[in-house]
Amino acid sequence: MKETVNTPETGPVGADAAPYGAIDRLRETVAAGFGTGVSPLALGMALIDWSAHLAAAPGKRLELADKAARETAELLAHIATLAADPTAAPVIRPPPQDRRFAAAAWQSPPFSIWAQGFLLARQWWHEATHDVPGVNPHHENLLSAMVQQWLDMASPANLPLTNPEIIARTLRTGGLNHLAGMRNWFEDMARLAAGQPPVGAEQFRVGQEVAATPGKVIFRNHLIELIQYAPATETVLAEPVLLIPAWIMKYYILDLSPENSLVRHLVQAGHTVFCLSWRNPTAEDRDLTLDDYRRLGVMAAVEAISAILPGRGIHAAGYCLGGTLLAIAAAAMARAGDGRLASVSLLAAQTDFAEPGDLALFIDHDQLNSLEGVMRQRGYLTAEQMLGAFRFVRANDLVWPRLVRAYLMGEREPMTDILAWSSDSTRMPYRMQGEYLRRLYLENALAGDRMLADGRIVALRSIRAPIFAVGTEEDYVAPWRSVYRLHCLSDAELTFVLADKDHLAGIIFDPAQPGSHYRIATRDPDDTCLPPEDWLRTAAWREGSWWPAWSDWLARLSAAGRVAPPGMGAAAAGYPVLEDAPGSYVRQR
């Protein structure tokens, strides 16, 4: 009888099958070198699924033909009406978030006609790719997103001869905007080829304009540096705060320019703050696992803080994927009876991936197989490859407006601290990233009580420490309803906040910025899990930033009150000061 073995790359294989599997993996690796990680097979399967079912649905085809005829007639009637009434109401208006045609110049013919024709075509194709009987929902969403991207590429807003704003600027400058745009393009291509950050990013230097909150690196291992920030008040709350950023990003998203620094806000509110700074992995780190990130990251930081401040609970807070990792670590600690976490805060962090947002378009078994080919070749995945998927599905916000402004209008978008940070990304080891995508996105193992830590199952219901969770209204990375699902997975006291804005601006922004708002409500352990829409109706609506509310929540949980600030590190306990913040890992390229 032949022995069957399991390998992380191939799954169950017989001994005789291993050489043939190696041939397939070699083919995938070579093919990945000529692509972007998006599987053409997945796109082809979606197209075949949709076209075959559409061909077998005469009712749907008649519906689409009728809709095309009616929309064409409505547009022609509108054009005729414009001859007598130039202010006639349009046939179709863009959704509120689509600002491409918001300028006054777009409201007059012929530009208004071109815009409406485009919007009608976009709406027709949306209906053509949806609700076709029998089509796999994932294929439907993937194909619809691809069709919308192809349409948006040809939007009249992106073309110099159909965009009235570009035409007006060309006439005003005598065509110099196009020369400026060419110069911008050559400059950007040169920087891209040289591996340099975008123009203007040099204004935000790490350790000076950003990541400038005073502190010391008091621990370092192969994966993290732990920063302890200097106190800014005469007394501090006894329990420290540990911040865990996502491994896909440099930590200083939490410590941007002073007005946008969550770290500085906490320090000034009287908290002792520690923060992880992730190492930028290389090909040599390809075999680091997700559990290595938990052990060498979260747990190593907890051990260090416990040695520096023995006997004090720790308020742990994770942002984005850092929050997901914290949830796994907190569940593993609860399983082991480790009560060192005084609270758990999850900021725009998912624990249930049943509705994971836009990234779901690019995560299925075939796509992941293709992506693993990319990672296998290099030993890691770049953040640019990961972020490219989000830019794809939000091209109207993140791609086309910027290209039009820089290359057709000849204007540079003002650089900000967040834009500069977004160009300073980290890599993700091959094995860890594959495990993360497969176990969390494909299998939803954490929500299903199938996630392993130290080889044993962990369950979110084991966590008894109070939880503070934040979602944002316009989040396309971690949709707030997905974040909200934690209510049905946890038996702990849970305070949930729904902030305005998106995944970045809803979490990181100046608390003094006017016009912000959030909703907040606390669920006791014995309360039932409300549907998200019911929660929206009952949660308290408040103006301003949720930062002070979170800081006050942490203060209420401080059993020991305020004490004198601790020293930096603890050399006697094996945690001496190593260097000034922001440390060395954040500067790695």
For residue 324, the model assigns a pLDDT of 98
Question: For 227-237, b where at least 16 C-beta lie within 10 A, e where not — what string?
Answer: bbbebbeeebb
Q: What is the DSSP string of 376-404?
A: HHHSEEEHHHHHHHHHHHTHHHHTHHHHI
Question: For 408-420, b where at least 16 C-beta lie within 10 A, e where not — what string?
Answer: bbbeeeebbbbbb
Res 557 pLDDT > 50: yes
Res 10 pLDDT > 70: no
Summarize pLDDT for 325-370 with one digit per residue, the tens: 999 999 999 999 999 999 999 999 999 999 887 777 878 888 888 7
Summarize pLDDT for 303-321 with one digit per residue, the tens: 999 999 999 999 999 999 9
**Chain center to CA of 50:** 29
Summarize pLDDT for 173-206 with one digit per residue, the tens: 999 999 999 999 999 999 988 888 899 999 999 9
CB atoms near residue 13 (< 10 Å): 15
Mean pLDDT over residues 89-102, rounded? Answer: 89
104: its two tokens: 């006054």
Local confidence band at 25 (pLDDT 50, 70, 90 cut-offs): low
For residue 476, the model assigns a pLDDT of 86
Mean pLDDT over residues 127-133, rounded? Answer: 97
For residue 28, the model assigns a pLDDT of 54
Question: For 92-103, b where at least 16 C-beta lie within 10 A, e where not — what string?
Answer: bebeeeeebbee
Summarize pLDDT for 511-538 with one digit per residue, the tens: 878 889 999 999 999 898 999 999 999 9
For residue 317, the model assigns a pLDDT of 98
What CA–CA distance (Å, rounded) separates 478 from 471?
Answer: 8
Summarize pLDDT for 292-304 with one digit per residue, the tens: 999 999 999 999 9
Burial label for 220, CB within 10 Å (0-12, 13-18, 19+), is middle
What CA–CA distance (Å, rounded) separates 516 from 508?
Answer: 12
Summarize pLDDT for 494-505 with one digit per residue, the tens: 999 999 999 999
Res 390 pLDDT > 80: no
Instruction: Outline where 33-135 has alpha helix (H).
Output: 40-55, 58-84, 111-128
**Chain center to CA of 463:** 25
What CA–CA distance (Å, rounded) separates 143 from 149?
Answer: 10
Summarize pLDDT for 209-238 with one digit per residue, the tens: 999 999 999 999 999 999 999 999 999 999
For residue 534, the model assigns a pLDDT of 96
Local confidence band at 38 (pLDDT 50, 70, 90 cut-offs): low
For residue 26, the model assigns a pLDDT of 54
Catalytic residue among 275, 320, 488, 529: 320
Q: Which domains does the chain have, with CATH numbers?
A: 41-148 (no CATH), 215-587 (3.40.50.1820)
Q: Which of 94, 79, 109, 105 is nearest to 152 (CA)?
A: 94
For residue 35, the model assigns a pLDDT of 46
Local confidence band at 86 (pLDDT 50, 70, 90 cut-offs): confident
Mean pLDDT of the chain: 90
Res 16 pLDDT > 70: no
Q: Which residues contact 49 (CB under 8 A, 6 or more apart)?
A: 135, 136, 139, 143
For residue 276, the model assigns a pLDDT of 98
Mean pLDDT over residues 467-475, rounded? Answer: 96
**Chain center to CA of 126:** 25
469: its two tokens: 């969770």
Summarize pLDDT for 234-291 with one digit per residue, the tens: 999 999 999 999 998 899 999 999 999 999 999 999 999 999 999 999 999 999 999 9
Q: Is residue 320 flagged as an active site residue?
A: yes
